[in-house]
Amino acid sequence: MIFVYLLTAICATFACYNYLLVLQSTGYKPWRGYYWVVKTVWFWLHLCGGVLLYIFDIAWYFSVTFVTVTAVIQWTKKRKVRLAITKRIIRIMVLLFVANFAVCWLVDIGISIALLPLLVIASWLILLPIESLIASYYIGKARKKLSQVNLTIIAVTGSYGKTSVKDMIASLLSNSLAPAGSCNTPIGIAKFINSTDLSTAKYLVLEFGARGKWDIKKLCKLYPPQGGVLTGICPQHLSTFGNLDNVIFAKQQLLLGINMHGFCVLNRASNAVEYGNIGSCKKIASNSNLQIELSNIDFCGSTFVVKHQDKTATVTLSQIALHTADTLAMAMQVCLQLGQSFEQTIDNLSKVKQTPHRMEISRCNDFYIVDDSYNASLVGVESCAKTLSFFHCPKVVITQGIVECGKDRKQQNLQCGKLLGGVVDVAVTLGKNSSYLQQGLLLGGCNKVLSATNLTDAVTIARKYAVGGLLVFQNDLPDSVNVM
């Protein structure tokens, strides 16, 4: 029977893919949302299946088949965000295997399957002291490496637009480095620093993320910035922050973390100027001595007229988002503040690329796709809606609304639907917010409001209405799908 227990433990460990993904998405802080696994089909399949296997004492090969099938489905399912197989995940999986084997041997195979979500948490908890030591080691190594080079750190934070602004600064600012994607945690930044040659750079552009009041303060202590950008503040991640006051408090820690010799660029197009009046560093509005006007927007991108003092330039970017002008203003203001010439900054615009999943446009047969699926705030929805109003063609949106909004779920999703309803012809909603979204869409004036049970079905419904126009993947969509 030991062989049976070993085989079951191996298969059951891989069947925990979804639980591990949720744990990883919380930053390995289960209190920030691990309980969401209770709402997944895998939780109930494993719980009910395990209990039935135990009660009816079903043959072991049925148990192995059951966990193997659930494992294969999870590992092969298409997802926008997949489980990153890091060393930490491997350590958790090894201990999870040991825990599964122990429960199979000492209790029962069925009970082991039923307890999979709890065994993941138990494995995380047992490894926590070791992980803390490992994290301290890598962060300490990164800090030591930073101390050995002469780098100016620029930190970007806010409730939205962090990755786009970080990428734009890194493109425009000569001799600069930045992590790819949404790398914004202490250990994620440390991993980038430890694996990157910093000797040829003058500037390091970092994104500071937060889901709790003290996260940015911790990042400022670990990686002290000499310059910063505040993109704006809105009610986001309220399920972990609790309320807007905590969000404001967290984002303001960046300004307090920059010393009096440093600076922080505040997005004039948002409330950043209002909330950024704190700390001793120099504050610079994004439109100080800089004016950016949109002159054209179409399927190929946007054209802007940029003015700085007595200099003028016309530039074209592949981005279509209306807020690209604000992103460009913040990034250029950082470059100018650091002494880079206007001409050099304009020349570097040729290096700018579209940040994935942020109003990213592409052609798909007989329609265009606008991928705004990483958008997670009402400010982003409003910007998306304003951008879509420039396109005079059929517009179809697929959305599941604002996910992490805590007790404001109804209000935010009604508003989300209303904003989209004013500019789209057809909307397909999915997820737990569908009823609120549909109400808002109808109030906004959308002519056709439909619903779907999953993203694949939503695409099947939506694509027939998008011919000759735009199909928009909007706001917090969890999975990618092939629409070809």
447-460 residue pLDDT tens: 899 999 888 899 99
Q: Kindly tell me the burial class for residue 188, based on how many C-beta atoms sit within 10 Å of its own C-beta (0-12, 13-18, 19 or more).
A: middle
Q: Which helix (H) or strand (E) holds 193?
A: helix 186-194
pLDDT value at 69 more than 50: yes
CA distances from 192 to 16, 178, 354 (A): 28, 9, 21
Only one residue has tokens 């997802």, namely 79
Sign of the C-alpha dihedral, residues 139, 29, 157, 251? negative
Sign of the C-alpha dihedral, residues 382, 386, 388, 393? positive
CA distances from 246 to 250, 251, 252, 404, 412 (A): 6, 9, 10, 15, 18
Q: What is the pLDDT of residue 355?
A: 87
Rounded Cα distance between 344 and 313, Å, is: 12
Does domain 360-474 bear CATH number 3.90.190.20? yes
Q: Which helix (H) or strand (E) holds 314?
A: strand 311-317
Please list, residue by residue across 164-184, b when 16 or more beta carbons sit within 10 angstroms of its beta carbon and e when fewer do: bbbbbbbbbbbebbbbeebbb
pLDDT: which is higher, 211 or 21: 21
Only one residue has tokens 């615009």, namely 349
Does domain 149-351 bear CATH number 3.40.50.720? no
Only one residue has tokens 């440093």, namely 262
Tokens for 243, please give them. Answer: 């309320």
22-56 residue pLDDT tens: 999 888 989 888 988 998 999 999 999 999 999 98
Among candidate residues 235, 286, 278, the one with its CA nearest the CA of residue 258: 278
Only one residue has tokens 């439109």, namely 287
350-398 residue pLDDT tens: 999 988 888 999 999 899 999 998 877 888 899 999 999 999 999 999 9
Query: What is the number of residues in the chain?
Result: 484
Q: Kindly tell me the burial class for residue 274, based on how many C-beta atoms sit within 10 Å of its own C-beta (0-12, 13-18, 19 or more).
A: exposed
Task: Give residue limits of the domains in the chain.
Answer: 2-131, 149-351, 360-474
CB 71, CB 131: distance < 8 Å:
no
Rounded Cα distance between 407 and 238, Å, is: 8
CB 478, CB 80: distance < 8 Å:
yes
What is the residue-averaged pLDDT of the chain?
Answer: 92
**Percentage of the residues of the chain whose pLDDT score is greater than 70:** 98
220-236 residue pLDDT tens: 999 999 999 999 998 87
Q: What is the pLDDT of residue 80?
A: 66
Rounded Cα distance between 360 and 130, Å, is: 40
Phi-psi region of 39 (alpha: psi -120 to 50; beta: other; left: phi over 0): alpha
Tokens for 445, please give them. Answer: 């004036």
